[in-house]
Amino acid sequence: MRTRLLDAAAVVAVLAAALCGVACGRVVLDRPGEAGPDAGGGVDTAPAHDVAPPGDDALLPVPPFATVIRVINVGDRDFRLEGEDNSTCPYGFGIQGGAPVDQPTPLEEPSFSCGCDQCGATMNGHLRCATNDFLCQEAPIVLRPGAHFDFVWPGTVQVWLSPLAAGNPCASACTAVLPVPAGSYVFTLGHDPLPFTVQSPLPAPGGVVEIPVTAP
């Protein structure tokens, strides 16, 4: 993956249209025919959640909530998961609910960012921005009926903050990585012709959000 530094003054049009996500997590997959911990493949245990400091009465979990997004082929035909079996190419996972994800927001590595911590980093005082050129050359993953694919999401997303947003010292919109708080959300796997969606709370039961899919 190649990363280029850009001057934000040259990418105003991109900023107006950008809606970017958070870094792509580690994926775990048992391919058909390979030995795995169980018949369906994937991980056996859910990621642990952070908890409130000792002494709190409720000991409630606090964000970010590391979560396994599990794609399960519930159909009777092979399902092609478009994307790459590595950390550089997005699969199209998204989330929407309350702030900071009141708009559809990708869960994976952003293709464009202008970090709020880079205000005035350039000689002309503009933001320092970066764009990723994804090099996606691997074949799509094929899930046989009953098989599943696990995407590990760290519980954070990249969002765009306006100059008036609290905690944004920049003179123009910039990006920040924020934890997604507890609540009810719609998780999405982008797919043609229609995306697959599922409603789930955070923290997810057992630390797993399951998205059932079928081949068109």
Bridge partners, residue 150, by sequence:
28, 70
Bridge partners, residue 185, by sequence:
200
Q: What is the mean pLDDT of residues 189-213?
A: 94
Q: What is the mean pLDDT of residues 147-155?
A: 96
**Quick check: 89 pLDDT over 70?**
yes
Angle subtended at Cα 61 by Cα 59 and Cα 62, rounded to the nearest 5 degrees: 120
How many CB atoms within 10 Å of residue 190?
17
CA–CA gap between residue 173 and residue 50 (Å, rounded) = 31
Distances (CA, A) of 84 to 15, 109, 110, 145, 204: 26, 13, 15, 20, 25
Cα atoms in the 13 Å half-sphere on the side-chain side of 47: 26
Q: Dihedrals φ, ψ of 9, to 5°?
A: -65, -25
Q: If we measure between CA atoms, which residue out of 178, 183, 172 comes closest to residue 159?
A: 178
Rounded to two decimals, the pTM is 0.70
pLDDT band at 85 (very low <50, low <70, confident <90, very high): low
